[in-house]
Structure 1
């Protein structure tokens, strides 16, 4: 099981702050494809990966990163300075 956490508008579109997911995905990109196939709300949230960032176990990562040994995946929009 992997803990998946959603932040900001990703959480709003999906309607959950976090969930436990059993997955066969080997990369973040495969996990995203599994999530998009679940329901329209996931497909909408992950429609434009260029507008998303991902962290694996609280370390900024890429969508082609492997999930082996990962306990937590977080999706969030890019942070802006101010």
Structure 2
């Protein structure tokens, strides 16, 4: 089982802040999880298909190619800017 969280406008657009997903052999990387979620429909494709999408694995920024394991926490969020 992995925990997936959605932040900022992603949470608003998807209507969910987070969820648990059963980890199976087809989900090896964050990119695999992203594609799995995009298969849910157009709004998921629109939100998680953004080129600027950022992700974190266990509270550390990472690339979509990061390998995941059972009990990992994944977060998807839009880019942020600071001043």
Q: Give the TM-score of the pair, scaled to structure 1.
A: 0.88
Aligned residue pair count: 81
| Structure that is richer in helix per residue | 1
Q: Distance in 2 between matches of 1:44 and 1:22?
A: 23
Corresponding residue for residue 66 of structure 2: 65
User: 1:52-74: CA deviations, max 9, x gaps?
Assistant: 11010001110011012552000
Q: CA RMSD in A?
A: 1.3
Q: Distance in 1 between matches of 2:41 and 2:80?
A: 27
Would you say the 8 A contact 1:35–1:42 is kept in 2? yes
The alignment partner of 2:37 has SS state of helix
Structure 2: gaps (5+ residues) = none
Structure 1: gaps (5+ residues) = none
Corresponding residue for residue 75 of structure 1: 76
Runs of 4+ aligned residues of structure 1 deviating over 4 Å after TM superposition are none
